[in-house]
Structure 1
Amino acid sequence: MNREQYLQRLAAALGKLSPAERDEILADYRAYFDDAAADGRSEADVCAALGEPERLARELTAERKLADWEADKSPANMKQALGALAGLGLLNVLLAFPYLFLLTWLGSLWLGAVGLLIAGVVITGSWASHSAFGWPSLDNIVVNDSGIGPWLIAAGPRDGQPPRLNIEGEHGESVRIEPDPASGKLVIEARDGDEHFRLERDASGNLAQLHIRDGAGSVELSGLQKASSGSVLVLGLVLTVLGLIGSVLGWKVLRWVWQGTGRWLRWQQRLVAGEAAVR
C-alpha cells in the first residue's frame, strides 16, 4: 500500500467527523509521510507502521469525540464518545453496559424524586389556596387509606348530572354511565370479557365503591372518606420533604458520577490502546 491509497482509505473511514476535522487529520498524516520520506523511509514501511487505516480512523474518532465531551459535558457528546469507543471492540461495548445502566437507573430515581417534589408542592399549594380562598374545593377528593391504588381519588363534580351512556360492542364489551336523578347516584361501568370496572358515586358526591376485576383477581374499595384539610396538608408536606431530600441527594450522586465519566472514558481509551499495542 502506498501513501495515496492509505490516505484515501483513512479519509473514507473518518466519515463520522466533520469535514474540517477530517481535513486537519489528513493534513497531519500527509506531513507525517513527508517527514518519513525525508528520513529515508519508504511509503510501504510507514503504512505498515501506522497499521490498518480503518483501525487508525476509529482511534482518531474516539479521541476527537472524547475531546468534544471534555469541552462540553452534554449527554449528546457523551453518547457520541461512548459510540466511538464501542466501535473499537466488543470488550468496550460490554464494559459500557453496566455504566449506562447505572446512569439510567440513577437518572430515573432522580426524576422520580423530582416528581414527588412537584406533586408535594402542588398539593401543599392547593391546601394553602383552599384555606385562603376556598379554591380548589376538597369536597370531591377522596383519601384512599386502603394501601391499594392511588392515595387521592377525584370523586367527580357534584353539581349537574352527566349524560346517560350505554354502549354495547359486538364481542360482549360494554361501557355504561348511569345517573339516577332521583337518588343522585352515578354508576360508571365497563366490561370486556373477564375484565370489569365499576365506580359508584353517591348523591353527596363521595366515592361509594370502586371495583376492578381482571379475571385473575379483583380489588374492591368502599367506605372511602372525603379528604380533610389536614390530611391534604400532611400528604403534601410529606411528598415535598421526601421529594426535596431525594432530589438533592440524587443530584449530588449524579454530579459525582458525571464528573467521573471523563476518567472512565479515558480508562476505556487507554485499555483499547493497550490492546492495539499488544496486537
Structure 2
Amino acid sequence: MNREQYLQRLAAALGKLGPAERDEILADYRAYFDDAAADGRSEAEVCAALGEPERLARELTAERKLADWEADKSPANMKQALGALAGLGVLNVLLAFPYLFLLTWLGSLWLGAVGMLVAGLLITGGWASHSVFGWPSLDNIVVNDSGVGPWLIAAGPRDGTPPRIRIESGQGETVRIEPDPASGKLVIEARDGDEHFRLERDASGKLSQLSIGDGADSIELSGLPKASSGSVLVFGLVLTLLGLIGTLLGWKVLRWVWHGTGRWLRWQQRLLAGDTAVR
C-alpha cells in the first residue's frame, strides 16, 4: 500500500467526522508521510507502522468524540462518544450497561425531586393566595390520612349541577357521572368487568366514599376530612423542603457522576486503543 491509497482509505473511514476535522487529520498524516520520507523511510514501511487505516480512523474518531464531550458535556455528545467507543471495540458492555442504568436512575430520582419541589411551591403558593385573596377555595380539597392512596384529593366543584353522563359497551364496560338533584349526591363510577372505581360526593361537597377494586382486592375510603388551611400549608412546606433537599443533593451527585464519566470513557478507550496522538 502506498501513501495515496492509505490516505484515501483513511479519509473514507473518517466519515463520522465533519469535513473540517477530517481535512485537519489528513493534513497531519500527509505531513507525517513527508517527515518519514525525509528520514529515508518508504511509504510501505510507514503504512505498515500506522496499521490498518480503518482501525486508525476508529481510534481518531473516538478521540475527537471524547474531546467534544469533554468540551460540552451534553447527552448528545455523550451518545456520540459511546457510539465511537463501541465502534472501536473497547467499550465493555458489562460495565457500560450498569453505569448507564445508574445514570438513568439518578436522573429519574432528580427529576422526581424537582417535581416534588414544584408541587410543594404550587401548594404553598395556593395557600398564600387563599389566605390573602380567598382563592383558590379549599372547600373541595380532602385530606386522605388513611395511609392508602394520594394524600390530597380534589373532590370536585360544589357549584352547579354536573351533566349526567352514562356510557356502556356490550363487553361490560361502563362509565357514568350521575348527580342526584334531590339529595345533592354525585356519583362518578367506571367499571370494566371486575375492576371498578367509584367516587361519591354528598350534598355538602364532602367526599363521602372512594372505592377501588379489581375483583380480588379492593380499597374503600370514607369519612375523609376536608383540608384545613393549616394542613395545606404544612403539606406544601414539607413537600417543598423535601423537594429542595432532593433537588440540590441530586444535582450534586449527578454533576459528580457526569464529570466522572469523562475519566471512565477515557479509561475504556485506553483499554485497547492507547495513545492515539499522531505517530
Q: TM-score range by the shorter chain?
A: over 0.9
1:71-127 per-residue CA deviation (whole Å, 9 max, x = no partner) reads 222222222222212221164333222222222121111111111111111111111
Q: Which position in structure 2 is the counterpart of 1:97?
A: 97
1:127-149 per-residue CA deviation (whole Å, 9 max, x = no partner) reads 11111111110000011111111
SS at match of 2:92: helix
- Residue identity in the other structure for 2:48: A
Q: Which position in structure 1 is the counterpart of 2:197?
A: 197
Corresponding position: 1:52 with 2:52:
yes
- What fraction of aligned residue pairs are identical, expressed as a percent? 88
Q: Which position in structure 2 is the counterpart of 1:153?
A: 153
The question of whether the paired residues in 1 share the 8 Å contact of 2:186 and 2:202 is answered with: yes
Q: Which position in structure 2 is the counterpart of 1:251?
A: 251
The question of whether the paired residues in 2 share the 8 Å contact of 1:124 and 1:233 is answered with: yes
The question of whether the paired residues in 1 share the 8 Å contact of 2:90 and 2:273 is answered with: no
Count the aligned residue pairs. 276
Corresponding position: 1:126 with 2:160:
no
Q: Give, in whole Å, the separation in 2 of the partners of 1:108 and 1:190.
A: 32
- Residue identity in the other structure for 1:108: S
Gaps of 5+ in 1: none
| 1:45-124 mapped onto 2 (5 Å cutoff) | 45-89=45-89, 91-124=91-124
Larger RCO: 1 or 2 (CA < 8 Å, sep 6+):
2
SS at match of 2:139: coil
Q: Give, in whole Å, the separation in 1 of the partners of 2:57 and 2:196.
A: 61
The question of whether the paired residues in 2 share the 8 Å contact of 1:85 and 1:92 is answered with: no
TM superposition shift of 1:159: 0.6
SS at match of 1:96: helix
- Residue identity in the other structure for 1:254: L
Gaps of 5+ in 2: none
- Residue identity in the other structure for 2:229: S
Runs of 4+ in 1 over 6 A off after TM superposition: none
Q: Give, in whole Å, the separation in 2 of the partners of 1:275 and 1:29.
A: 16
Structure 1 length-normalised TM: 0.93
- Residue identity in the other structure for 1:86: A
Structure 2 length-normalised TM: 0.93
- Give the superposed CA RMSD: 1.7
TM superposition shift of 1:272: 2.5
- Residue identity in the other structure for 2:163: P
TM superposition shift of 1:57: 0.7
SS at match of 1:163: coil
TM superposition shift of 1:2: 2.3
- Residue identity in the other structure for 2:256: W
226-235 or 94-103, which moves further after superposition? 94-103
- Residue identity in the other structure for 1:102: L
TM superposition shift of 1:233: 0.8
